[in-house]
Amino acid sequence: MLAVFSGEVVEVPAELVAAGSRTPSPKTRASELVSRFLGSSEPAVSIQLADLGHLAYSHTNQALLRPRSFAAKDEIFCLFEGVLDNLGRLSQQYGLSKGTNEVVLVIEAYKTLRDRAPYPASFMLSQLTGSYAFVLFDKSTNSLLVASDPEGKVPLFWGITADGCVAFSDDIDMLKGSCGKSLAPFPQGCFYSNALGGLKCYENPKNKVTAVPANEEEICGATFKLEIGTLTHNKEYYMILRSDSAEYCIMETFKILFLRWKALQSSLRCIRRRCSCGGGSMQNSVHGGVS
């Protein structure tokens, strides 16, 4: 899969720029990268996001346990690779049908947290269990969310093209030809969000993710490492809950119900306001007729 975004969407990571500067190497423009991907991955699906970016994927050379999928809904586009072990339980929590696949679930989970409560992306990502990597773009807000599972079971790389676009792909050789040394593995257990301050670890978002220069002979120019900090008491408790599926399921179900309750409250307030405005207009009409 391939996702390319312009500087309007993604702030170019300084670490990748520095990696390319240390060892200059040939690069190509983003348009050439997309053309090369489509030419080598036929048949392929390609989606142009105006001047903001480009998404493409193909089932060619797809690993059996890492299927690729794509979905779009309400101006939210998502490329997903891998499988979720808890897909059934999460589908039930979010009120989705049994036939829902991983990419649709990610879109619906993102929408729920975006629309109904100010919960961070790390909350949604902490619910996912399995082998996965995905790229989600919300065109309505120009928001980008990219994530990899905690163990990095699905390879994902990112780099910078010659014209300053940021590209994501599961194929390192594809990116190498267009990004040169401005290339790095996307760190496992992390997410990138242009709306939430860039690259973070979703298991412990307060810990900083830093870039380490790679050796000259390596394909990538840098790797990203998580600075290990001290876990808080709440974090330790949360990790215990993850190992106890029954209690964790109850906790997550309660959170989803709470979000729905908040949405219902908001809807009721809107209805009351409309009724109040309608009542006031009716009274004014009656008084006007009497006089």
pLDDT at residue 197 in the model: 82
pLDDT at residue 242 in the model: 41
Do 238 and 194 fall into the same domain?
no
Domain-embedded: residue 144: yes
pLDDT at residue 195 in the model: 84
Domain-embedded: residue 291: no
Assign residue 47 the CATH number of its domain. 3.60.20.10
Q: What are phi and psi of 113, to 5 degrees?
A: -75, -30
**Which residue, 59, 271, 277, 76, is CA-closest to 170?**
59
| Higher per-residue confidence, 157 vs 268 | 157
**Which residue, 1, 5, 11, is CA-closest to 138?**
5
Give the whole-angstrom CA distance, residue 170 versus residue 272.
50
Number of structural domains in the chain = 2
Q: Give the single-character DSSP code of 117.
A: -
Do 254 and 155 fall into the same domain?
no
Q: Which residues contact residue 217 at a Cβ distance below 8 angstroms, ignoring those fewer than 6 apart?
A: none
Half-sphere exposure of 125 (CA within 13 A, CB side): 27
Do 106 and 144 fall into the same domain?
yes
Give the structural domain span for 154. 2-229
The first and second tokens of residue 264, run together, are 């219902």
Do 118 and 260 fall into the same domain?
no
Domain-embedded: residue 150: yes
Do 213 and 234 fall into the same domain?
no
Do 128 and 261 fall into the same domain?
no
Confidence band (pLDDT; 50, 70, 90) for 279? low
Domain-embedded: residue 287: no
Confidence band (pLDDT; 50, 70, 90) for 238? very low
Q: Are 194 and 144 in contact (CB under 8 A)?
A: yes
Pairing status of strand 209-213 against strand 157-160:
unpaired
Q: What is the largest distance, in Å, between two alpha-carbon atoms of the chain?
A: 91
**Of 229, 253, 272, the domain-final residue:** 229
Do 123 and 252 fall into the same domain?
no
pLDDT one-digit tens code per residue, 176-220: 999 998 999 999 999 999 888 889 888 777 778 888 877 776 888
The first and second tokens of residue 204, run together, are 């412990």
Give the whole-angstrom CA distance, residue 65 versus residue 86.
15
How many CB atoms are closer than 10 A to CB 195?
14
**Which residue, 135, 240, 175, is CA-closest to 32?**
175
Mean pLDDT score, 139-148:
94
3-state SS of 219-250?
Answer: CCCEEEEECCCCCCHHHHHHHHHHHCHHHHHH
Domain-embedded: residue 290: no
pLDDT one-digit tens code per residue, 15-46: 888 877 776 778 999 999 999 999 998 899 99
Residue 21 three-state SS: helix
